[in-house]
Amino acid sequence: MTGFVSFVSSGPGDPDLLTLKAVDRLKRADAVLFDDLSSGPILGHVRSGADLVGVGKRAGRASPRQTHVSQLLVDYAQMNQRTVRLKSGDSGIFGRLEEEITALKAAGIPFEIIPGVPSACAAAAAAGIPLSRRLTSRRVQFITGHDVTGQLPDDMNIAALADPTASTVVFMGKRTFPKLVDRLCAAGLPGTTPALLAEGVSTEAQRIERHTVQSLADQLTQEVSDNPALILFGSLCED
């Protein structure tokens, strides 16, 4: 068997942020299984004749089961296909990479992981701020805003998230952020803590909004768009 799987990280959406290695693997692929946020102009690097298979998952929409996606990777590789699994941001950050690697290992299929620009880094760059600050933000923490049921995880370390000296980035958290803020404020985080809502980072739909954690929670209680977004809060968001 000569099949091989490349997990390619596409970055936040702007094709100019792809790595050279990512572009090379896309050009040589026989099949590309891509997430919704990795589609569009990024797929322009795929050669004519390659199979393009959409396997993206979006909150509130019908999506393929993870077991189905993992099995597709195995099936393509077992047909001796050079297969790319295209994931948004960096594939190792809340991208369900582990489940797919486990399936490949069980089938004896070789693979590689190609890192990319994390969407959190791109969001901070778009806002013109660093993710860390030498004196006031010495720790950066990435968290997911929901568990497998779509709810706010019950086992979050709220004390760590309420630490005023940390920079926090919430992935997939717009719908659960109001509940998270309630818990953070109860643990001592001031409601006036600066926050950013970063939607559609690096794409034509990009929008960066400055808030406090409380004002953002209030806004998201009233209206939540379907645009992919990150929420950043802490001293990193200060002007």
Known catalytic residues?
35, 57
SS3 89: strand
Nearest Cα to 150, choosing from 37, 63, 34? Answer: 63
Report the alpha-carbon distance of residue 235 to residue 219 in Å, rounded.
Answer: 21
H-run or E-run covering 18: none
Q: Express the helix, strand and coil content of the chain in percent, nearest 5 each.
A: 35, 25, 45
The secondary structure of residue 85, as a DSSP letter, is E
Does residue 83 contact residue 5 with C-beta atoms inside 8 Å? yes
